[in-house]
Structure 1
Amino acid sequence: MAATLMTLIAAGLTAPAWAQEDRLAAVLDDFHARYGFPGATAAISLPDGTMVTAATGLADVENGRAMTPQTPMLAASIGKSFVAATVLALESEGSLSRDDLLSAHLGERPWFERLPNADSITINHLLRHTAGLPDHVRLPEFKANWSRLTAREGAFNPEDLVVFIAGRDPLFEAGRAWAYSDSGYVLLGLLIEDVTGQPWHEAVRVRFLEPLGLAGTIPSDRPDLPGLAIGYVARENPFGMPARTADAQGRLLWNPVVEYTGGGFASTSTDLARWGHALFGGEAMGTPYLERLLDGVRVEPDAPGLCYGAGVAIYQETQHGPVYGHGGWIPGYVASLRHYADYGTTIAFQINTDIGITDDTSTLVPALETALADLAISMLH
């Protein structure tokens, strides 16, 4: 059935690109009018690699700068897909195994023995969020230290993030349950640097960004990120940030390097869609990896259709078949990356605010995901 679908899809890609872009722009404009966010971008990668892009609204409200498809934003936790893919690449290269105990690589660090489940965590536990680690981002101590950690200048030591969970009780025995943890991905970043002997961003660049031509994706390791859309947050936010998160010149008022390998990139929706198309299509590496990437664990015992693999959320049963991807949130920005496996189609979008979007009652993200999926699939007929 999948082969037949792909044959029909390939035969149906006949509409001119400008017509498809007009349709995508109309969807974004409609959501912009309905939900009132500052601006957004979106990109659809069709099965043959054709890219359909559009933007709506403003990248900088105060200065009237229009959002364009080339405008970068902080991609937040979608960066975990790059981190996990790099670990899988290192496994293919023979530098590590997912079954390795983390202690075999980082056990000599002074804080290591104080990690929850220190003696039983494997690399695979970290990749799939089954290590039983708390999430430092959600801890009051982390929020209280936000200003210190995100000072615009000065060196940043990612091990300062590990300290927030050191000495705490594990949430569960490693491998026995699931709990999302940015702290686990911070440890993967330290692992990548230990194994490669180079900064983790460089390990990602040489394996993925450069070979795949993802020139619009750069490390979010400093406040001054060229062309970045201004992010907007609620005045009452947990980190005490100003509503506009950048100065008049567009330089962030905080240093996003604090995200480290919990995310770590600024990107465009176009690059994110191109990345998802290659990653989930099995084309991101020269050696087989999809089985390892999609080797997921159940997120909730009573939700068998939702799993998490190596840096990827897996929705096994949707109205459009299996969907692979990741969401992202960081103050001022929300992002989504989803690959529709039965259709060979990948969709990404980014919005430059988190106001009213990240709470449990917001319908914006799921509604936009659905609308863009319906649009993309309609383009194939």
Structure 2
Amino acid sequence: MTERETLRGPPHTCPMCGSEYDRLGRHWGSTCEPALSDHQRSVLAGLALSGCTVDDGSIIVQTTTRPLIEWTADQLGWLAGTLTRVNDDNSNRDPIYRLTTPTHWGVEQYEGWSSSGPPADYELDATAARVWWAYAGGLQWQGVYDSQRTATFSALDDDRADWIQRVLETAGVDATRVGKRVQWHGEQVREWFGGIGERVPGAAHKWAERRLAYQAWADVSRGASRPPQSESKGRYTDEDCAHYLVQAVVDIGEPISQTEYAEWARGTGAPSMDTVRDRLGSGSWPDTCSAVGVTAAGTFDISYDDFLDILVEIHDAHGTWPKTTEYDDLRPSDSPSLAQVYEYQEHEGWGDAIERAKQRAD
């Protein structure tokens, strides 16, 4: 037995007249005729390519990932329609999120795309490619190295493989058929991601450059948790650190700073900022964030020598070598804060940095 819960439902607002209706499609068929935007058509194309059902002028999107379906609804705007969650009595099964658009004559053209492909003259654009990839794309690694990343689409029969290759070719991708999938790799994968735009909520793992990041984003997207571990026993693994950093980014947003992660980690059972930074980035916060494909906040593109010069500048201006408690009050406004200084100390203590700065001043 299943249980249905409406997360977003009628009444829906007509974008033309502003009135609310339980069945917008019926209203559109008799009164208003709102046209689809280029963006909406591209989103619909991506959904159709990924295998979503198109029937009688309506498209039905299903996934077990709520952030992905909510992002899709936002992209469709006034065409989003009704969003429901279908819960199964079997607790081992994830709920299914289903988005059903109102009937609209502009949707009818995408019927049959998932099986037979789009018309021969169709050219893939960035938005459609992004949606298609979020729902149907996948990554594999053909060896132990992160550089051996391969992008894939499932192709169980020859006809499907043919049209997938044809569509990808319009986006500059020379893909090949291997078994039951169409794939491409190397520089073409990097160019693909450069063309389709930033990762999509709920499918971020499909944009990962490293296997470690892929697994962390996939686990967090499906709601998996890692048990709190005893840092004093050295039990945190790279996988643990990657998972917790990704979870912090999902909770906080990005770019994420060392201070933000440290505050988030307190009391959660997550590894400390120092542990995460040392395991994933060899002491560098930008490298740590890069390991899981996120943007570091609060960092400056300067060298360790530049940081030492800042200490010398503080001494020359104020006649004192700053203590850690004084640094933020005395530093130049365009220099890194104390929280950001970790990037330039190369695992040395504050006293070591001051001694080096003194040698430069002499």
Whether these two folds match at TM > 0.5 is: no
Normalising by structure 1, report the TM-score. Answer: 0.22
